[in-house]
């Protein structure tokens, strides 16, 4: 196997990063994938920076041992908190989710007022503010921590009938709308699952999904390092979790758009 045919490693705290896996399967179909969901430690959003950095190290190390050629941090919380440390310690190409989402939002906003909903730890890291201002220096950024969303989404409460999810979203998003934002970043890779609910709350708003927004950056990074898989052979994917593989497999389908029950392994 040539080096470019080696898999891309992707990690998240749980199921959310599968939204990036889905995008890779659609846009880069020849790429092989090794996914790690750190479901034993989900949610990351209420953990300390030290804990999140430790998890991110362990996850990256695990993927490297699986022989990956590059790592995508499909978790805003880990990207915002531990990205620099990981980049300093590992030499392989690394792609996050925050910078690509910020770049897209900066290109979409007309009034330079951008809202971000994300986990508590991701908001606390200030990474979205920094990234947005690096693309649009006078951008006003309004961030709201949304601690109830990841547990609700992991529990499968993602429809308009799930009133606790709709109420939480209204509580987090409406104050941002009232600040006059014209663009909202869903700064957590779990949130694409509730995109339709968000659209109902703020119709007409520009909405940027982190995770899927990073597919362009990932493609560029691989191309620049001559690591794009051009074999012409449809890629395969392996799924590992630190928690319960059966439970993960049961819920993965809705994130991935395909059933992987029985195919998830214990890390
Ligand atoms: N998908 C992770 C993110 O993007 C979820 C974080 C969590 O586990 O709280 O931030």
Q: Which residues contact 18 (CB under 8 A, 6 or more apart)?
A: 12, 35, 37, 252, 255, 256
pLDDT digits (tens, 9 = 90+) for 164-217: 999 999 999 999 999 999 999 999 999 999 999 999 999 999 999 998 889 999
Q: Is 75 a catalytic residue?
A: yes
**Cis amide leading into 237 (omega within 30):** no
**In Å, what is the CA distance from 248 to each residue of 46, 238, 255?**
21, 13, 11
Residue in 77, 102, 242 to alter for ligand 1 test, most ligand atoms within 8 A of Cβ: 77
Q: What confidence category does residue 159 fall into, taking pLDDT thresholds of 50, 70 and 90?
A: very high
Q: Is 7 in the pocket of ligand 1 (CB under 6 A)?
A: no
Percentage of the chain beyond pLDDT 90 is 95
* H/E run at residue 33: strand 33-37
State the pLDDT at residue 213: 86
* 242: its two tokens: 């630190």
Q: What is the mean pLDDT of the chain?
A: 96
Is the beta carbon of 12 within 6 A of some atom in ligand 1? yes
User: Which atom number of ligand 1 is nearest to the Cα of residue 190?
Assistant: 1
87-103: average pLDDT: 95
pLDDT at res. 211? 85
Q: How far is the CA of 257 from the centre of ligand 1 (A)?
A: 19
Å from CA of 233 to ligand 1 middle? 32
Give the domain ranges of the chain.
3-96+213-266, 98-210
Question: Active site includes 188?
Answer: yes
Mean pLDDT to the nearest integer, 225-240: 96
Give residue-wise pLDDT tens across range 38-78: 999 999 999 999 999 999 999 999 999 999 999 999 999 99
pLDDT at 212: 86
* Structure confidence at residue 37 (pLDDT): 97
Ligand 1 center–CA 226 separation, angstroms: 30
pTM for this predicted structure: 0.95
Confidence of residue 155 (pLDDT cuts 50, 70, 90): confident
Say yes or no: CB of residue 42 within 6 Å of ligand 1: yes
119 lines ligand 1 (CB under 6 A): yes
Domain 3-96+213-266 and domain 98-210, same fold? Reply is yes
Q: Does the pLDDT value for residue 145 go beyond 90?
A: yes
What is the assigned CATH class of domain 98-210?
Answer: alpha beta
Confidence of residue 231 (pLDDT cuts 50, 70, 90): very high
CATH no., domain 3-96+213-266: 3.40.50.1860
**246-257 residue pLDDT tens:** 999 999 998 999
């Amino acid at each position: 196997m040539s080096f470019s045919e080696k898999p891309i490693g992707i990690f998240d705290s749980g199921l959310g990063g599968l939204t990036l896996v889905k995008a890779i399967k659609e846009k880069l179909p020849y790429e092989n994938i090794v996914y790690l969901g750190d479901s034993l430690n989900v949610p990351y959003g209420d953990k300390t920076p030290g804990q999140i950095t430790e998890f991110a190290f362990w996850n990256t190390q695990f993927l490297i041992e699986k022989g990956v050629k590059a790592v995508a941090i499909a978790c805003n919380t880990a990207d915002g908190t531990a990205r620099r440390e990981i980049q300093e310690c590992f030499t392989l190409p690394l792609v996050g989710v925050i910078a690509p989402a910020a770049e897209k939002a900066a290109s979409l906003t007309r009034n330079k007022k951008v809202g971000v909903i994300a986990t508590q730890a991701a908001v606390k890291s200030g990474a979205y503010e920094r990234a947005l201002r690096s693309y649009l220096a006078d951008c006003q950024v309004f961030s709201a921590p949304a601690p109830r969303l990841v547990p609700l989404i992991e529990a499968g409460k993602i429809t308009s009938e799930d009133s606790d999810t709709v109420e939480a979203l209204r509580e987090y998003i409406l104050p941002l709308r009232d600040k006059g934002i014209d663009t909202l970043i869903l700064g957590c890779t779990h949130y694409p699952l509730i995109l339709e609910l968000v659209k109902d709350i703020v119709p007409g708003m520009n909405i940027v999904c982190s995770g899927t927004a990073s597919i362009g950056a990932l493609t560029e990074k691989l191309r620049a390092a001559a690591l794009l898989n051009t074999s012409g052979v449809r890629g395969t994917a392996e799924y590992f979790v630190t928690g319960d593989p059966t439970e993960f497999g049961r819920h993965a389908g809705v994130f991935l758009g395909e059933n992987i029950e029985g195919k998830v392994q214990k890390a």
